[in-house]
Every structure is written in C-alpha cells, then in structure tokens.
C-alpha cells in the first residue's frame, strides 16, 4: 500500500461493466507507472468474479462481494469503498463520470477531506501531487490545475481516454467488509425500464438530433419532417428531454443512448461532452449551430453557422429535390 | 414537508466567456449570469411536491449576479421563503466553502428535504450537493429525475437515472439531500406580471453572514478555451445554399435513398 498506487473504481450496474472502467484502467496504468506504483481495481458487487477477465489489466483486482452491493445504494457502496481506501492508501482514486460515480466520488472526497476534480481529460504526476486538465462550462472552457495534496479523487470524463486493451494477470483478492453493510437510509426498490414501442434510436442509420436551439416543442415537428424525408428518426440532447418534448428513449449521451448511425445531423446542439460521448462514433456528423464556438463543431465533419430553425424548411426542400 | 432548494447563478454560456488578466480565472465582472439549469429543475420538483403533499418551499441563494430576479421569480412560482446570503464577490464560492454556508442557513430552516441541482457547469473542484449533504450529516442520492411522496410520511421515492433510459426507483428516509438532474415536469413558466407582483409583496431573509470565497484544495494554473485538433469543414452561404450543399454531401455519401 502506497500513495504511489492508483485505485480504479469499477462501475457495475445491473451486472454490466460500464465501458468507462476500461478507460480508467488506461489512465490509471499511466499514473501508476509514472510513480512506480501498482494499479488496483475494486469491484463492488454481490459477486465480482465474472468481471475478473475484463479487468485483468490491473495489477491487483479487489472484489468486495456482499449481497448488499447487488444493487446500488450509496450507503453500502461508500462504506465498502472507504474501507478499501483505508486499507490500501492509494494516492489517486479514479472514478467514472457515471450515475454512481457522481454520488460516491464526491461523498468520499468530503468524508476524507480529499481534493476532487470533475471533468478530467488528462492527468499526470507532478512532484508529490498531480496536474490535470479539466473541462467545464459544458466543454466551453478548460482549466489546467494542480493538486498538491494526495490522496485525490479524479472523475474522468467518459470517452476522454482509449479503453485499455491490455490483457494482464491481475491478482484477484476477495475482500469481506469488516462490518455488515446495510442500506438503511436509501433503499433500492425497483428498476424502471423504458416503455417498449418507441423508436430504437440505436438501430437507426440516420438520426436528426435536436437540441436547445430548437427553442420550442412545436418546432420538433420540423425535425420530424426532415427525418421522414431522410428515412431516419429524431433524437435529442438532454435539455429537450428535460422539457418533455421527446421521451427519454430518444436522448443521446452518457445518461441516454449511445448511437453510431451513418448520419448524425445535429441541429441546435452545442456539443457538451456528455452528449458527444453518445454520438461521436457516427459515420458522418453534420452540425448546425449559430454559435461559432460551439464544441459540436470540433467533432463534426461538416458544420454550418446558421439557425437550425431557418435551415430546416430549406433542407427538407433540398433533400426532397435531390431524391427525385 | 419543509423543502429547501439551493439555487445558484452560473455563467450564461450563450455569451462569450472572458478570462481575467491572471489567466487563471473567469472575468466574473463581465459575465452574464443565469439560473443553474439543474437548480431550476430542483425548484420545480420542490413546488410539485408541495402542491401534491403540502408543506413549504424555501429558496436559498448567494447574493450576486441576477439573484434578486431569480428569487422574485421563485416567489412568483410559489416559494414561500427567500433567503439571500451575502457574498463578498461576484461569483459562487468553491463547492466546499459554499456547502458549509448553505448548511448554516438550511439548518435554521429545519428542512426535511433539501433539493440541489446535481451539477453546476462552472464547478470542477468539487460538487456542491453531496458536500452539502455531508455538512448537514444527511444521506445523499444524486442524478435524480423525479421525486414523489414515499410509502411513509418520513420518506420520499426518487428515480435515479442510469444510461439507456433506465431508472432505479429508490426510497429515501428524511431528512435527506437529493441531487436533481430533472424534475417530474419541466420548470413552469411564470408571467412577468406575477414576478412584478412578487417584487412588491415579498421580502428576502438576509442572514448575518459574510461569506468569503474560501480556499480550494485545487490550484488553477491556467484557463483557456478548448483547442481541438479537428474542426468541421464549415459550409458558408445562406440557409438555402447551406441546405443545398448538405443535400449534395448526403448524395455524395450515398445517404439519400
């Protein structure tokens, strides 16, 4: 155990390992190697053994197996993770910017009075501390920061690093919590799954995506019309779903769906990192936004600095004409 | 149920973000502020809970930016108590510092439930909502989309959002802090006339605090706009010209059938 070591917190929910964990292992390997430390990965679940092969890139794989970790509740998760941190004393704890990560990393950072960074895109050792580049203001601003005091919690932006493809020989260690875990104050009740029947946007080859620039619910119909002409479907960024203009099943991004269509036409979408994470694999990305500095133009192949609402009728007409 | 809602002012990202002469901070004096979007949803969720189950809604905010208009709007929507915390600079303190000050105020409100936006887009050296829960010694659950009354008067039921439109319904013992991503319904519209009326009829509670910015455990060396290695090939011209060019691209790529 050493502050040179790095601990990756695996993100497992509904028996599925989130891809971000493999990205964290890649980041963690670099940080551990730079300090000649070990890379550890902890899995909090009822039985972590099925994930051992996927996480073999770590030097040590710590499986905290407990029936109270079958489904997520912050109490048991934080208690179990705090115990691992106390035993191993890692200098860096890497957590994904996921639904669980947004709870446990800041809660533990507060409990341990340790620094916390969100939106990390790059991180390296600097002396006894760390330097990092973080993204904030929805991807419109970057900060180079320094942390002098370790341990530190780093929430790494999903998609900011390649997933590790290292096949290692992690030593598997089973950990048993020292005291019974209990979800006393916050209890899981049930999973609420999306209602069947809506369009599955992950299976569409053409997506017309609308964001805040669509301005009002009535304008979604303009995008629907374009989608009909293109034989595609309409999807959205989070603000549109938050407004109730489209169902959650149409949301693209880290907390929604990950899509890889042949064409992704982004209309009035700024391109916050959480959204880009869900669509950057599209074959062709065309972005339309009035803001020339919108981050979406950094991932798009083609862009137009135009009001999407002005473009839509003209585009329906132009596409219809070319099809004839 | 007594519900406290934290409402923060954040930079309006529609406007340009300027960096000050130190190159290590935003030029807060030049920034236009808006209500943090998740906090606006937190307020809406609080009002929905109150309307369905009774109780009161108190809104707490630091005094900078457009905070008075924000608080009057909250009153016009139905919030009963408006607390404005004096703040010595035109920016939000670090999440760590802010949490301790919000906690002082919220303790006095005797809130059963504290709703805060799960994230503010100008935070990167901490997260307010769980820090506030820690300061209040209350349980915390974040990334919440929708809160209802629980099976008992001392609980609420909340849906925690996961990828692929999956949600986990959780029951939470009160008092608690919840980090709101979205309310059960979008934030309500309130007519200007009601906001004007609120300006004439409501008053702010201003606790005798004077909040310093506080130290962050993270030192900022440099701020800069993101520099991308790639950028879209931009299509120039009018809407009709751009539409024509996009249609041509789709034809070239074999995407029109």
Residue B210: predicted pLDDT: 62
Distances (CA, A) of A102 to A116, B30, B101, B139, B181: 11, 31, 22, 14, 11
Report chain B residues whose CB lies below 8 A from the CB of A324: none
Phi, psi at A248, each rounded to 5°? -60, -25
List, for residues A174-229, the tens digit of each pLDDT value: 999 999 898 889 999 999 998 877 899 999 999 999 999 999 999 999 999 999 99
Distances (CA, A) of B201 to B65, B72, B194, B224: 22, 10, 10, 44
List, for residues A50-86, the tens digit of each pLDDT value: 999 999 999 999 999 999 999 999 999 999 999 999 9
Residue B211: predicted pLDDT: 60
Which residue is closest to B159 within chain A, CA to CA? A192
**Does residue A187 sit at the B interface (CB-CB below 8 Å)?**
yes
Residue B93: predicted pLDDT: 84
**Any idea what DSSP says for residue B92?**
P
Q: How many whole angstroms separate alpha carbon A85 and alpha carbon A245?
A: 44
Distances (CA, A) of B124 to A33, A43, A132, B61: 26, 26, 11, 20
**Does residue A149 sit at the B interface (CB-CB below 8 Å)?**
yes
- Collect all residues with Cβ–Cβ distance below 8 Å to B250 and sequence separation of at least 6: A230, A263, A319, A322, B256
> What's the mean pLDDT in A127-140?
94
Residue B96: predicted pLDDT: 86
Q: How many whole angstroms separate alpha carbon A151 and alpha carbon A146?
A: 13
| Contact between chains at B122 and A184 (C-beta distance less than 8 A) | no
Give the Cβ contact number of residue B39 at 10 Å: 28
Residue A167: predicted pLDDT: 84
Q: How many whole angstroms separate alpha carbon B254 and alpha carbon B85?
A: 59
Residue A2: predicted pLDDT: 74
Residue A121: predicted pLDDT: 94
The shortest C-alpha distance from B13 to chain A (Å) reads 7
List the single best residue of B9, B13, B144, B215 to mutate versus A (max A Cβ within 10 A): B13
- Collect all residues with Cβ–Cβ distance below 8 Å to B16 and sequence separation of at least 6: A293
**Does residue A107 sit at the B interface (CB-CB below 8 Å)?**
yes
ipTM surpasses 0.95: no
List, for residues A280-301, the tens digit of each pLDDT value: 999 999 999 999 989 999 999 9
Percent of chain A whose pLDDT exceeds 70: 99
- Collect all residues with Cβ–Cβ distance below 8 Å to B36 and sequence separation of at least 6: B7, B8, B9, B10, B117, B120, B121
| Each residue's pLDDT expressed in tens, for chain B with a length of 257 residues | 999 999 999 999 988 899 999 999 999 989 999 999 999 999 999 999 999 999 999 999 999 889 999 999 999 999 999 999 988 777 788 898 899 999 999 999 999 999 999 999 999 999 999 999 999 999 999 999 999 999 999 999 999 999 888 999 999 999 999 999 999 999 999 999 999 999 999 999 998 876 666 677 899 999 999 887 778 999 999 999 999 999 999 999 999 87
Q: Is A277 exposed, middle or buried, given 0-12, 13-18 or 19+ CB atoms closer than 10 A? A: buried
- Per DSSP (E only), the strands in chain B are 2-6, 9-11, 33-35, 56-62, 81-85, 113-117, 140-149, 155-162, 166-173, 176-182, 218-224, 233-235
Which residue pairs, CB below 8 angstroms and at least 24 apart, start in B156-161?
B156/B49, B156/B113, B157/A189, B159/A192, B160/A72, B160/A99, B161/A99, B161/A255
Cβ atoms of B113 and B2 closer than 8 Å: yes
Residue A158: predicted pLDDT: 84
Give chain A's mean pLDDT: 94
Q: Is the pLDDT of residue A273 over 90?
A: no
| Contact between chains at A136 and B121 (C-beta distance less than 8 A) | yes
Q: How many whole angstroms separate alpha carbon A276 and alpha carbon A72?
A: 26
Q: Is the pLDDT of residue A1 over 70?
A: no
The shortest C-alpha distance from A114 to chain B (Å) reads 8
Cβ atoms of A275 and A253 closer than 8 Å: yes
- The predicted model scores a pTM of 0.92
Residue B257: predicted pLDDT: 74
Distances (CA, A) of B146 to A1, B33, B154: 42, 26, 17
CB-CB: which of B17, B133, B164 is closest to A141? B17
Distances (CA, A) of A12 to A94, A152, A159, B116, B163: 14, 22, 17, 26, 12
Residue A196: predicted pLDDT: 79
List the single best residue of A158, A295, A302 to mutate versus B (max B Cβ within 10 A): A302
**Does residue A140 sit at the B interface (CB-CB below 8 Å)?**
yes
**Does residue B101 sit at the A interface (CB-CB below 8 Å)?**
no
| Contact between chains at B127 and A118 (C-beta distance less than 8 A) | yes
Q: Is the pLDDT of residue A7 over 90?
A: yes
**Does residue A300 sit at the B interface (CB-CB below 8 Å)?**
yes
| Contact between chains at A304 and B235 (C-beta distance less than 8 A) | yes
Residue B184: predicted pLDDT: 95
Residue B213: predicted pLDDT: 60
Residue B76: predicted pLDDT: 98
Residue B2: predicted pLDDT: 96
Residue B190: predicted pLDDT: 96
List, for residues A80-98, the tens digit of each pLDDT value: 999 999 999 999 999 999 9
At A311, is the pLDDT very low, low, confident or very high (cuts 50, 70, 90)? very high
> What's the mean pLDDT in A15-28?
94
Q: Is the pLDDT of residue A324 over 70?
A: no
Structure tokens at B2: 């007594």
């Amino acid at each position: 155990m050493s502050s040179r070591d790095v601990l990756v917190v695996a993100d497992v929910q509904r028996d599925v390992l989130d891809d971000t964990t493999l990205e964290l292992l890649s980041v963690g390997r670099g940080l551990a190697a730079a300090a000649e430390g070990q890379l550890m990965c902890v899995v909090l679940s009822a039985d972590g053994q099925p994930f051992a092969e996927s996480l073999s890139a770590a030097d040590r794989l710590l499986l905290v197996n407990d029936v109270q970790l079958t489904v997520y509740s912050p109490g048991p998760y934080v208690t179990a993770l705090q115990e691992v941190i106390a035993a191993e004393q890692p200098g860096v704890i890497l957590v994904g910017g996921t639904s669980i990560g947004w709870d446990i990393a800041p809660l533990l950072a507060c409990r341990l009075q340790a620094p916390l960074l969100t939106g990390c895109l790059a991180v390296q050792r600097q002396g006894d501390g760390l330097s990092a580049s973080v993204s904030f203001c929805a991807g419109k601003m970057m900060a180079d920061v320094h942390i002098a005091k370790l341990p530190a919690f780093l929430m790494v932006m999903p998609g900011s690093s390649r997933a590790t493809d290292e096949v290692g020989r992690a030593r598997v260690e089973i950990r048993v919590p020292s005291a019974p875990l209990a979800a006393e104050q916050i209890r899981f009740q049930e999973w609420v799954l999306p209602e069947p029947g809506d369009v599955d946007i992950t299976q569409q080859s053409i997506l017309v995506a609308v964001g805040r620039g669509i301005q009002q619910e009535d304008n979604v119909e303009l995008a629907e019309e374009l989608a009909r002409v293109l034989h595609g479907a309409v999807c959205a960024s989070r603000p549109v779903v938050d407004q109730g203009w489209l169902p959650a099943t149409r949301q693209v991004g880290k907390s929604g769906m990950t899509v890889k269509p042949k064409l992704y036409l982004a209309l009035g979408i700024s391109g916050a990192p959480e959204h880009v994470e869900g669509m950057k694999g599209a074959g062709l990305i065309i972005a339309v936004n009035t803001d020339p500095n919108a981050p979406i133009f950094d991932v798009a192949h083609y862009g137009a600095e135009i009001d999407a609402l002005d473009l839509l009728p003209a585009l329906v007409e132009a596409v219809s004409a070319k099809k004839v | 149920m007594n519900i406290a809602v934290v409402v923060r002012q954040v930079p309006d990202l529609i406007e340009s973000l300027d960096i000050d002469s130190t190159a290590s901070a935003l030029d807060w004096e030049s920034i236009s502020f808006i209500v943090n979007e998740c906090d606006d949803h937190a307020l809406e969720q609080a009002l929905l809970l109150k309307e369905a189950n009774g109780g009161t809604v108190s809104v707490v905010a630091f005094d900078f930016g457009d905070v008075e208009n924000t608080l009057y709007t909250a009153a016009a929507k139905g919030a009963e108590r408006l607390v404005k915390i004096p703040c010595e600079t035109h920016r939000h303190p670090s999440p760590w510092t802010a949490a301790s000050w919000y906690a002082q105020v919220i303790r006095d409100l005797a809130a059963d439930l504290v709703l805060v936006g799960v994230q503010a887009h100008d935070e990167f050296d901490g997260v307010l909502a769980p820090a506030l829960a820690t300061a209040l010694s209350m349980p915390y659950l974040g990334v919440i989309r929708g809160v209802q009354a629980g099976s008992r008067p001392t609980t609420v039921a909340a849906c925690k959002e996961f990828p692929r439109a999956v949600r986990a319904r959780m029951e939470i013992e009160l008092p608690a802090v919840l980090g709101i991503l979205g309310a059960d319904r979008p934030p309500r519209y309130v007519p200007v006339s009601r906001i004007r009326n609120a300006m004439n009829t409501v008053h702010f509670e201003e606790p005798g605090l004077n909040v310093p910015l506080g130290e962050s455990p993270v030192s900022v060396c440099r701020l800069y706009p993101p520099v991308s290695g790639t950028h879209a090939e931009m299509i120039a011209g009018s809407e009709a010209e751009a539409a024509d060019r996009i249609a041509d691209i789709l034809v070239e790529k074999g995407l029109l059938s």
